């Protein structure tokens, strides 16, 4: 298994495009609609936000995915099409517009939106631009890049990756683009992720693999604790790699799962790292826990703590906030068995042993926490389970970005 280039166009038979059609008006040079198309029908699956308030495209996608088949994804940024007039009608019209130029059924198109909640989507702009969007489709790295840019909102960098592995003697590729930034929380925060693969896999198994993968990647990141109305992760598998179709668990499924998880963990880390205004990627590894679930709950609580995030922003080794966040996570444990250290490329420093503060070199701690990627390592002494979650610091820029997002 290795990482390769070409993002969402890495797998055979997929083309992508991203252009500006006019959904975004306040920054009219920015791309705002993406299209991803497979040359043949795909086994397809999606996981969506658990928020009770779901954006219109999610209702449409759930219906379109009932048969487990799809061929394309159309997505816009600049407007979430959530709590907005004509929501489902316009989401269906996006599918129909894409289907019209592709030459497939509207039910074979999936749709996503991200942006402001509660405002009417400029559907005419999308319908008016869909031919140009189709004409821009290409299988190149540039096409994947354009699609990745077209789904960005406050993201400062595109998120794009691809992996290659061998399944049943055939080269199989999985690629993806994603967007994240604000609102990313363990139950998926405004994130969109579109994955494409040429692996031959049944719709039941692609769905199983996607669920297993989301649990250990996107569900283990947090930016600000808010869970969005629009979070979606969609995968399309067209089978063009020519491997024997994966229809049950076994070595082939495991190989596919390993590659999918590696891809999604990378995209998830990129999302956390690019949290709105973030200056640090924070990795929290909890080991010695009673169960993976317990380790995960505790690690999420630590990376979600606003106080912990502010301390990392200040490169302040305030480990007490980690203990405090562990304590209100809802998990039971003995604080007097907890050890904490901070680590980064600049080294590692132990700051707490058996629940009590250690004397430590503040200058060294500052050097360690000044790195971009910092890790909070927690050992619990409760058992043998471990889990890693990812988050980011909170900065002046987060406040600035979110204090006036709509205008």
The tokens describing 55, both together, are 């954006």
Q: At its nearest, how many Å lie between its own copies and the CB of residue 221?
A: 15
Determine if 406 is a binding residue for its own copies (CB under 8 A). yes
Which of the stretches 145-153, 233-241, 308-316, 376-384 binds its own copies when contact is defined by CB under 8 A? Answer: 308-316
The residue from 190, 196, 197, 283 that is catalytic is: 190
Site string (266-305) toward its own copies, x via CB under 8 A:
--------------------------------------xx
Residue 226 found at the interface with its own copies (CB under 8 A): yes
Residue 324 contacts its own copies per CB under 8 A: yes
DSSP three-state, residue 206: helix
Which of helix, strand or coil describes residue 37? Answer: strand
Q: Which of 15, 20, 54, 64 binds its own copies (CB under 8 A)?
A: 54
Specify whether the CB–CB gap between 49 and 20 falls below 8 A: no
Among 327, 346, 350, 371, binds its own copies (CB under 8 A): 327
In this complex, which beta carbon is closest to its own copies, that of residue 236 or of residue 282?
282
Q: Which is nearer to its own copies, 27 or 52 (CB)?
A: 52
Contact assessment for residue 270 and residue 178, using Cβ atoms and an 8 Å cutoff: yes
Residue 149 near its own copies by CB under 8 A: no
Residue 190 is among the residues annotated as catalytic for this protein: yes
Of the candidate residues 6, 38, 51, 297, the single one contacting its own copies (CB under 8 A): 51
Other beta carbons less than 10 A from residue 30's beta carbon: 16
Q: Which is nearer to its own copies, 38 or 395 (CB)?
A: 395
Angle separating helix axes 87-102 and 123-135, nearest 10 degrees: 20
* DSSP 8-state class, residue 335: G
Q: Which position among 69, 141, 187, 385 is part of the footprint of its own copies (CB under 8 A)?
A: 187
Of 126 and 311, nearer to its own copies (C-beta) is 311
Residue 357 contacts its own copies per CB under 8 A: yes
Nearest-10 crossing angle of helices 251-273, 203-216: 40
- Cα dihedral: 170, 247, 253, 218 (round 10): 120
CA dist 403 and 407 (Å) reads 10
Compare residues 84 and 102 and give the one whose CB is closer to its own copies: 84
83 contributes a contact to its own copies by CB under 8 A: yes
Which residues partner with 378 through β-bridges?
A: 286, 340
Long-range CB contacts (< 8 A, 24+ apart) of 252-258?
A: 252/167, 252/168, 253/201, 253/205, 253/208, 253/209, 255/1, 255/165, 255/166, 255/167, 256/165, 256/167, 256/172, 256/174, 256/197, 256/199, 256/201, 256/209, 257/209, 257/212, 257/213, 258/1, 258/165
Q: Please tell me whether residue 307 binds its own copies under the rule CB under 8 A.
A: yes
**Helix 320-327 × helix 292-304 angle, to 10°:** 120
Residue 313 vs residues 142, 177, 232, 317: alpha-carbon distances, Å:
35, 28, 29, 10
Q: Which is nearer to its own copies, 324 or 386 (CB)?
A: 324
Comparing CB distances to its own copies, the nearer of 64 and 185 is: 185
Stretch that binds its own copies, among 81-89, 93-101, 240-248, 286-294 (CB under 8 A): 81-89
In whole angstroms, the minimum distance from the beta carbon of 286 to its own copies comes to 14
d(CA 221, CA 239): 30
Helices 56-64, 87-102: inter-axial angle, 10-degree rounding? 50
Is residue 306 a contact point for its own copies (CB under 8 A)?
Answer: yes
Q: Is there binding between residue 50 and its own copies (CB under 8 A)?
A: yes
> Which of 1, 141, 323, 350 is the binder for its own copies (CB under 8 A)?
323
* Count of residues touching its own copies (by CB under 8 A): 68
Is residue 325 within the footprint of its own copies (CB under 8 A)?
yes
Interface stretch with its own copies, choices 173-181, 199-207, 246-254, 350-358 (CB under 8 A): 350-358
Q: How many CA atoms lie within 13 A of 302 on its CB side?
A: 29
CB of 370 to its own copies, least distance (A): 13
Asked whether the beta carbons of 272 and 374 are under 8 A apart, the reply is no
Q: Which stretch binds its own copies (CB under 8 A): 102-110, 222-230, 240-248, 256-264?
A: 222-230
Catalytically active residues are: 190
What does the binding site for its own copies look like in residue numbers (CB under 8 A)?
50-54, 80, 82-85, 116-120, 182-183, 185, 187, 224-229, 304-307, 310-311, 313-314, 316-321, 323-329, 331-333, 335, 351-352, 355-357, 394-396, 398-407
């Amino acid at each position: 298994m290795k990482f390769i280039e070409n993002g969402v166009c890495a797998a055979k038979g997929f083309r992508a495009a991203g252009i500006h059609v006019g959904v975004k008006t306040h920054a009219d040079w920015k791309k705002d609609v993406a299209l991803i198309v497979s040359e043949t029908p795909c086994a397809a699956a999606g996981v969506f936000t658990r928020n009770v308030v779901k954006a219109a495209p999610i209702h449409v996608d759930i219906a379109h995915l009932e048969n487990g088949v799809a061929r394309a994804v159309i997505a816009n940024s600049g407007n979430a099409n959530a709590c907005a007039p004509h929501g489902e009608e316009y989401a269906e019209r996006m599918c129909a517009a894409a289907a019209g130029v592709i030459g497939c059924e509207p039910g074979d198109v999936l749709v996503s939106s991200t942006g402001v909640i509660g405002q009417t989507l400029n559907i005419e702009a999308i319908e008016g631009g869909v031919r140009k969007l189709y004409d821009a489709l290409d299988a190149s790295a540039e096409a994947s890049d354009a699609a990745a840019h077209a789904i960005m909102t406050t993201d400062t960098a595109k998120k794009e990756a691809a992996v290659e592995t061998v399944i049943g003697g055939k080269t199989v590729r999985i690629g993806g683009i994603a967007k994240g930034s604000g609102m990313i929380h363990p139950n998926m925060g405004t994130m969109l992720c579109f994955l494409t693969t040429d692996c031959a896999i049944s719709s039941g198994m692609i769905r199983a693999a996607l669920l297993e993968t989301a649990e250990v990647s996107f569900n283990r990141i947090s930016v600000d604790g808010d869970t969005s109305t629009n979070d979606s992760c969609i995968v399309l598998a067209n089978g063009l790699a020519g491997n024997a179709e994966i229809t049950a668990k076994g070595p082939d499924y495991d190989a596919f799962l390993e590659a999918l998880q590696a891809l999604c963990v990378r995209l998830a880390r990129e999302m956390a790292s690019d949290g709105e205004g973030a200056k640090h990627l924070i990795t929290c590894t909890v080991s010695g826990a009673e169960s993976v679930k317990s380790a995960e709950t505790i690690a999420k609580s630590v990376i979600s703590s606003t106080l912990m995030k502010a301390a990392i922003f200040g490169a302040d080794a305030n480990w007490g906030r980690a203990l405090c966040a562990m304590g209100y996570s809802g998990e039971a444990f003995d604080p007097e068995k907890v050890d904490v250290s901070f680590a980064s490329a600049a080294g590692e420093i132990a700051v707490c042993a058996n629940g009590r503060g250690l004397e430590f070199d503040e200058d060294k701690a500052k050097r360690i926490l000044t790195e971009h990627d910092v890790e909070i390592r927690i050992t619990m002494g409760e058992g043998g389970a471990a889990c890693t979650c990812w988050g980011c610091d909170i900065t002046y820029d987060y406040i600035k970005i979110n204090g006036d997002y709509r205008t």
